[in-house]
Amino acid sequence: MVVYWRPGCPYCMKLRLRLRFCGLTYTEVNIWRNPDAAAFVRSVADGHETVPTVTIAGQALVNPSKRQITDAVRSRAPHLLRGAKNL
Q: Which fold has domain 2-81?
A: Glutaredoxin (3.40.30)
Quick one: pLDDT band at residue 82, thresholds 50, 70, 90? Answer: confident
Average pLDDT over residues 39-53: 98
Domain spans, the chain = 2-81
User: Is a pLDDT exceeding 80 seen at residue 79?
Assistant: yes
Instruction: Specify the pTM.
Output: 0.92
84 to 6, 21, 24, 31: CA distances (angstroms): 25, 9, 5, 26
Per the CB < 8 A criterion, the answer to whether 51 and 41 are in contact is yes
